[in-house]
Homo-oligomer: A and B are copies of this chain.
Amino acid sequence: MKKYTIKNIAELAGVSKGTVDRVIHKRGKVSVKALEKVNAVLSEIDYKPNLLARSLKKTKEYHICVVLPDFNKDPFWRPCFEGIEAAVQEFASFGVFIEPFFFHPNDVNSFIEINKKVLELSPDAVLLAPLFYKETVAIVNNYALADIIVSKFNNQLETEKTKNFVGQDLFKSGRIAASLLQMIISKNAAIAIIHIDEDYNNSIHMQEKEKGFRHYFNELEDANYVINTYNTKQAALENRLDSIFNNTSKVEAIFVTTSKVYKVADFFKAKHIKNVKIVGYDLLDENIQYLNDGIINFLIHQDPKKQVYLGLSYLVDYFLFDKEIPAKSLLPIDIITSENLETYL
- Is there contact, CB below 8 Å, between A340 and B52? no
- Residues of A within 8 A of B (CB-CB), count: 39
Q: Does A172 contact B (CB under 8 A)?
A: yes
A176's partner among B48, B51, B339 (CB-CB below 8 A) is B339
Q: State whether A51 touches B94 (Cβ < 8 A).
A: yes
Is the Cβ of B337 less than 8 Å from the Cβ of A333? no
> How long is the Cα–Cα vector from A70 to B51 in the complex, in angstroms?
32
The B-contacting residues of A in range 18-71, CB under 8 angstroms, are 48-53, 55-56, 61
- Give A87 Cβ to nearest chain B Cβ, in Å: 14
What is the CB-to-nearest-CB distance from A62 to chain B, in angstroms, rounded to a whole number? 12
Number of copies: 2
Within 8 A of B (CB), among A204-250: 216
Complex contacts, A344 vs chain B, CB 8 Å: 332
Q: Nearest chain B CB to A106's CB is how many angstroms away?
A: 30
- CA separation between A175 and B333, bound complex, in Å? 21
Residue of B nearest to A48 (CB): B93
Is the Cβ of B49 less than 8 Å from the Cβ of A52? no
Whether a CB of chain B sits under 8 angstroms from the CB of A189 is: no
Q: Report the nearest B residue to A55, measured CB to CB.
A: B52
B48 A52 Cβ-Cβ under 8 A: no
Shortest A132–chain B CB gap in Å is: 27
Top 4 closest A-B pairs, CB basis? A179-B339, A52-B56, A48-B93, A335-B335
With A49-B93, A51-B94, A53-B56 given, can you name 13 additional A-B contacts, CB distance below 8 Å? A1-B97, A3-B95, A50-B94, A52-B55, A172-B339, A172-B343, A176-B337, A176-B339, A179-B337, A330-B343, A332-B344, A333-B343, A335-B337
